[in-house]
Amino acid sequence: MVQIKSLEEYLKTYTRSVEQPELFWSEIAEQFDWIQKWDKTFESDMIKAEFKWFRNAKLNITSNCIDRHLDNKSDQTALLFVPNSPDEAAQKITYKELSLMVNRMANTLKDLGVSKGDRVCIYLPMIPELAAAVLACARIGAIHSVVFAGFSSTAVAARINDSSSKVMITSDGGYRGNKTIDLKGIVNDALKSCDSVESVLTIKRTGQETVMIEGRDYWYEDISKNLSDECEPEIMDAEDPLFILYTSGSTGKPKGMLHSTGGYMVYTGFTFKNVFQYESGDIYWCTADIGWITGHSYILYGPLLNGATTVMFEGVPSYPDFGRFWEIIEKYKVNQFYTAPTAIRSLAKESLEWVEKYDLSSIKVLGSVGEPINEEAWHWYDEHIGKRNCPIVDTWWQTETGGIMISPIPHVTPTKPTYATLPLPGIQPVLLDEQHKEITVNPAQGSLCIKHAWPSMARTIWGDHQRYIDTYFSAYKGYYFTGDGALRDDAGYYRITGRMDDVIIVSGHNLGTAPIEDAINEHPAVAESAIIGFPHDIKGNALYGFVILKESGTDRNQDELRIEINKMISDHIGPIAKLDKIQFVSGLPKTRSGKIMRRILRKIGEGDLSNFGDISTLLNPEIVEEIIEGRL
Ligand code: WTA
């Protein structure tokens, strides 16, 4: 794999990638195994949002993730599974073993009637079968749609129905810290409102009792027993879909981002190697869940494409104690460690003894992802985990981008706290001003957009291309709009300042305000609601809801209502979307056209009561005073 090793080489490579993108990307792509090569590197239409990468090329991504390594790495650990409980032994799954697991799972899916193009919904805890399930789909050309195992049955059902998944893969239950989650029960509930699912493949993890429906539900260990562990890879076109992954948007309906095969492979393989400077034999650990894009690209695909050893951790950073991450790093001599600012902040507030108990000298590179990393967390990470000796790669990217877009390259790009620094080769970020013009001077601040197509960009929103165009390619004609704002310093370094839309990042999870408001509004006592984010020491942002009650709700006990509203949110979305503060108000500040002025609510939530700007244009300016007085 092409590996950039000096700043000079980065600059040269970057320039070339901008001046000769066809040549640049085809050289990178040459390093993978293709069944048939492309006849054109890419075609891009930023207006219609139509993109093709590696036109007419044929491949199978699992041949590149697994088979390709069987000649010389068959006994090397591919997945290092670290269970939730420290008392349960870790499992080293070699490339050979992974190959057998994936193929057997692939044959099981075929046995259940799954074929190329069918959607398979995966709802599993972080166990090796999750990796196998994802790769088994890719092996046979089925489109995987992984749903994070913290989502509620309503949210699961919405995702199954949107993608009309044919098969569901789940487990009896899952472990998370000292809790056990009834995953199969949640699936059973979800499936009451899903017609497309024909079979449920159930993995045994916790051994808990569960209701199995005859003719629909199968125990994986039973039905796979007599199936072969050899399975020829399906021949896929580079543009055939690889997976759907849902992300929040500004309406209640989640957006099923569709990723395709060839471009995604090339980009995740290339970026993994460079951003983590992975060397053969290194132990790499990304603490994300495979239910999110970070897990897809940088626990599974990116590392496996590079023949890496990738750690899969089932548990949480606080169980059985706050030393868990550091214990795992010491025990398995982790070389690259990739986590989220929210995890860093939550561990930084605990005693340093948890860190100092362990030998972290194996670490070479530290990574951060998912939200802006604040200065304090950056320095804590640098000082106490990296011992001022490991570059921190603050990686900016999105579900939609498929792979890391802006990030330092360790030992190549000088880092700067809170800055994601420079774009990776092939990525052309720009800042646009309010007149939609590119800002060419530095320093600058504006809307972060991307000017040129890249291989792993999402190709569409499943079933709704118009929404894809409207969301990403309409705000600024000719550009991909990220939804983020950013600063650029004199050196051209980017610092992401946060979302510019109605998405709030809470503990690294993207939450759209609309779906949460929809959930709250279903409460019989609620007339209307508005959600904003406010700064929170650990979560980055927490949620603050302003709720107008119906006449019937006004004599109810407010604390009880708060509990019921949060329960409503948990049931519709999941516990991650619960509100920290709920204030009951008699009205919401609205413009004359009836739009809620969230800007005002945000300021109140932040406790910044100094300057609301001109509120006289509001339909109901008097409400602002009332809301300020009742502020929580
Ligand atoms: C935010 C996660 C600042 C950003 C890979 C983006 C970040 C959204 C960073 C995508 C970072 C991600 N610095 N902000 N290093 N990384 N973000 O789809 O707002 O879960 O648009 O993808 O997270 O979140 P998503």
The answer to whether residue 616 scores a pLDDT higher than 90 is no
Q: Return the amino acid letter for 218.
A: Y
User: Does the global pTM surpass 0.75?
Assistant: yes
For 284-317, the pLDDT digits (tens) are: 999 999 999 999 999 999 999 999 999 999 999 9
> Quick one: pLDDT at residue 253?
86
For 170-196, the pLDDT digits (tens) are: 999 999 999 999 999 999 999 999 999
> Quick one: pLDDT at residue 248?
84
Ligand 1 midpoint to CA 491 (Å): 22
> Which pLDDT band, with edges at 50, 70 and 90, does 403 fall under?
very high
> Quick one: pLDDT at residue 375?
95
> Which pLDDT band, with edges at 50, 70 and 90, does 262 fall under?
very high
Q: Residue with the nearest Cα to atom 24 of ligand 1?
A: 398
Ligand 1 midpoint to CA 498 (Å): 8
Q: Determine the Cα angle at 29 with ends 24 and 34, to 5°.
A: 155
Ligand 1 midpoint to CA 249 (Å): 14
> Quick one: pLDDT at residue 619?
86
Q: Which domains does the chain have, with CATH numbers?
A: 7-416+428-450 (3.40.50.12780), 503-629 (3.30.300.30)
For 205-230, the pLDDT digits (tens) are: 999 999 999 999 999 999 999 999 99
Least confident range of 113-122, 270-279, 463-472, 596-605 = 596-605
Q: How many CA atoms, within 13 angstroms, populate the side-chain half-sphere of residue 492?
A: 13
Q: Residue with the nearest Cα to atom 5 of ligand 1?
A: 398
Q: Are 373 and 497 in contact (CB under 8 A)?
A: no
Q: Residue with the nearest Cα to atom 7 of ligand 1?
A: 371
Ligand 1 midpoint to CA 340 (Å): 10
Centroid of chain to Cα 618: 38
Measured CA distances, 569 to 511, 526, 538 (Å) = 12, 13, 21
Helix (H, G, I), strand (E, B) or coil at 42: strand
Q: Residue with the nearest Cα to atom 1 of ligand 1?
A: 371
For 428-442, the pLDDT digits (tens) are: 999 999 999 999 999
- As a whole number of angstroms, the distance between CA 156 and CA 607 comes to 36
Ligand 1 midpoint to CA 302 (Å): 18
Give the pocket of ligand 1 (CB within 6 Å). Answer: 247, 292-294, 368-372, 394-399, 420, 482-484, 496, 499, 505, 510
Q: Are 16 and 427 in contact (CB under 8 A)?
A: no
| Continuous H helices in 170-213 | 183-190
For 121-145, the pLDDT digits (tens) are: 999 999 999 999 999 999 999 999 9
For 467-511, the pLDDT digits (tens) are: 999 999 999 999 999 999 999 999 999 999 989 988 999 999 999
Q: Residue with the nearest Cα to atom 11 of ligand 1?
A: 396
Residue 423 main-chain phi, psi, to 5 deg = -70, 150
The answer to whether residue 324 scores a pLDDT higher than 80 is yes
Closest-lying ligand 1 atom to the alpha carbon of residue 420? 15
Q: Residue with the nearest Cα to atom 15 of ligand 1?
A: 396
> Which pLDDT band, with edges at 50, 70 and 90, does 65 fall under?
very high
> Quick one: pLDDT at residue 95?
98
> Which pLDDT band, with edges at 50, 70 and 90, does 594 fall under?
confident
